[in-house]
Amino acid sequence: MDYTLLTLLEASKLLKDRKVTSVELTKSFLQKIEQTKKLNTLITICKADALATAEKADKIIQSGVAYPALTGLPIIIKDNISTKGVRTTCGSKFLKNYIPPYNATVVEKLNAQNAVLLGKANMDEFAMGGSNEHSAYGNVLNPLNNEYVPGGSSGGSASAVGANLCLASLGSDTGGSIRQPAAYCGLIGLKPTYGLVSRFGLVAFASSLDQIGPLTKTVKDSALLLSVIAGSDEKDSTSEKFKLPDYNKCFTDSIRGLKVGISKEYLNLFMSDETKVSVNSVIEFLKQHGATLVDINLKNIDLSLSVYYVVACAEAASNLSRFDGVKYGVRAKDYKNLSELYFKSRTQGFGEEVKRRIMLGNFVLSSGYFDAYYKRAKKAQQAIKCEFEKAFNICDVIISPTTPSTAFKFGEKTDNPVEMYAADVYTVPVNIAELPAISIPCGKGQNNMPIGIQLIGKKFSECTLLNTADYIEKHYSWEGK
């Protein structure tokens, strides 16, 4: 039996029934990782620690006492999530030798569950990119077709699950960085409500937008992982105190009475013809299975992309100012004074995409342009939030494609950053409005690559999203499924 093909829940059941051990599972995945190195999915492999954790998990399982849900299950996490004693590079040369002295809160929660950490996933540098072509450690390949990008910035996390190198993974989503790679790799990608999952220990890109979430093979696997990582955290000032439901019990296998919001403005943001066909097909499926379609007005949705790149770049410029060659990270060897140390260290340490966003962020925050760009962007952000709030007074979920089209080939958009940014047009509104969203596969394009559909919910409505997504996953069929 090929254990790497299992879902998270399937593997959990086999462990519970004593039909496999955690060590056997872990060795299977480590062997698969070794066999698929060309995908360049991982920056760091934690072989010794993974096997030690697996041995510990087997002893716990064999003892007969009750144990946590993720005990003995191998997973991978994105390399911008801090792991004590394990290198955390953020896909950058700047942090190539950085070993955090503490764990992120989500890592502490995984450790408490006795989950097995196989390694740290490759990513766009400092989470800035939508294709995983901006890592200092090389491109990550899409496991479905190596000529195509896996998406970004959580491309390594998505590639790992898609290539069966782990049972599930964690990524981070600032403007679609979980959902877009999930769509490109044919996976489930969940971006939780802002504040539902602690950001403590996540190396910040844009602090008001970043959120950690799962990438999985099934919707129920996402629910299981979310149930572990969600919850308030006193170490994170943006963490929300919210009574958590049992996400594993959200499933009713029914969408009767569900109100699905349809925004003509949202659905007219230049999606491809084949994507439009898939989206309309899912909408018709929902209607036929008992959902009610509701027209909603999101007249400012077309401003989302501009708002996102002003706000995100401004926050990135501020967050990355700490990387100066003095405290930690890369330090230039030859410099005459402090200013030259800053300049040379940052020039040598950062890649081109990170430099581009830092420069844009500093520009919109500069005294002569703050009001014209940053201040106006924040006002537009508030208007977009208000429109979503009004829409959710009359609907339960809003539907859209996850991306305008299927995955593109390597090199296709690297010379045109604006075109690359436009691939985020359907995902960034969710982060701007602090909402949850989930991406599910719903078809294939002419290039035989997956098409993803996105469901958006109001704050803390993850249960509704999970139930709807699960229903689509189980009952909606398309050619090639």
Q: What is the DSSP string of 268-302?
A: GS---HHHHHHHHHHHHHHHHTT-EEEE---TTGG
Tell me how far apart the alpha carbons of residues 147 and 160 are, in angstroms, rounded to a whole number.
16
Q: Is 428 helix (H, G, I), strand (E, B) or coil?
A: helix
User: If we measure between CA atoms, which residue out of 97, 93, 214 comes closest to residue 160?
Assistant: 214
Torsion of CA 345, 347, 353, 356, to 10 degrees: 110
Token output for 366: 């500069």
Tell me how far apart the alpha carbons of residues 361 and 312 are, in angstroms, rounded to a whole number.
8
Q: Please indicate whether residue 177 is annotated as part of the active site.
A: yes
Q: Please indicate whether residue 254 is annotated as part of the active site.
A: no
| Element counts in the chain: helices (H) and strands (E) | 15, 11
* From 172, 177, 198, 400, the catalytic residue: 177
How do the residues of the chain divide into helix, strand and coil, expressed in percent and rounded to 5? 40, 15, 45
Residue type, 135: S
Q: What are phi and psi of 140, to 5 degrees?
A: -90, 140
**With 0-12 CB in 10 A as exposed, 13-18 as middle and 19+ as buried, what is 55?**
middle
Which DSSP category does 447 fall into? T
CA-based angle 467:438:277, to the nearest 5? Answer: 95
Tokens 């009359």 belong to residue: 394
CA-based angle 143:144:145, to the nearest 5? Answer: 95
Tell me how far apart the alpha carbons of residues 8 and 26 are, in angstroms, rounded to a whole number.
13
Packing angle, helices 22-35 and 8-16, rounded to 10: 140
**With 0-12 CB in 10 A as exposed, 13-18 as middle and 19+ as buried, what is 237?**
exposed
Tell me how far apart the alpha carbons of residues 399 and 190 are, in angstroms, rounded to a whole number.
14
How crowded is the C-beta side of 106, counted as CA atoms within 13 Å? Answer: 32
Tell me how far apart the alpha carbons of residues 302 and 322 are, in angstroms, rounded to a whole number.
33
Q: How many CB atoms lie within 10 A of CB 417?
A: 17
Which DSSP category does 130 fall into? S
* From 32, 78, 191, 220, the catalytic residue: 78
Tell me how far apart the alpha carbons of residues 230 and 227 are, in angstroms, rounded to a whole number.
6
Q: Please indicate whether residue 208 is annotated as part of the active site.
A: no
Tell me how far apart the alpha carbons of residues 183 and 328 are, in angstroms, rounded to a whole number.
36
Q: How many CB atoms lie within 10 A of CB 455?
A: 26
* From 12, 82, 131, 153, the catalytic residue: 153
Q: What are phi and psi of 320, to 5 degrees?
A: -85, 0
Residues serving a catalytic function are 78, 153, 177
